[in-house]
Amino acid sequence: MAEIKFPIVELAADKFQVSVDTSLYAKEVITAAIYKFSHLFYIHQQTDTCNQTLVNVIFESKDNSKVAEDVPKQFCNELIDQQIRY
């Protein structure tokens, strides 16, 4: 079976990045999904310099806690939920 690749990159033990394609998700949707996680993380978003259709969302844990493995996947699910609501 092929390995599934997620648009998620671990930058450090307390940081990860999710690349979101704006051809799939509206920018308002990305912001709404980010808001759902803002109580857990410091979050920064920026347009990818190499690909203008991607928004890189960078999460950094608060209080020096390690980021759980499932959090980026939960964020991806939240993107889908918010896109449906949009």
Residue 16 falls within a domain, yes or no?
Answer: yes
Residue 31 falls within a domain, yes or no?
Answer: yes
Report residue 23's pLDDT band, with 50, 70 and 90 as the boundaries. Answer: very high
DSSP, res 65: P
Residue 49 falls within a domain, yes or no?
Answer: yes
Model pTM score: 0.82
Residue 43 falls within a domain, yes or no?
Answer: yes
Name the domain count of the chain. 1
pLDDT digits (tens, 9 = 90+) for 53-73: 999 999 988 887 677 778 888
- Region 24-36: mean pLDDT is 96
**Are 76 and 6 in contact, with CB atoms under 8 Å apart?**
yes
| Residue range of the domain that includes 17 | 8-85
- The CATH code of the domain that includes 33 is 3.30.70
Residue type, 17: Q
Residue 40 falls within a domain, yes or no?
Answer: yes
Return the SS3 of 73.
helix
Phi, psi of 46 (to 5 degrees): -155, 150
pLDDT of residue 63: 81
Residue 66 falls within a domain, yes or no?
Answer: yes
Residue 2 falls within a domain, yes or no?
Answer: no
**Are 67 and 59 in contact, with CB atoms under 8 Å apart?**
yes
List beta partners, residue 56: 19, 46
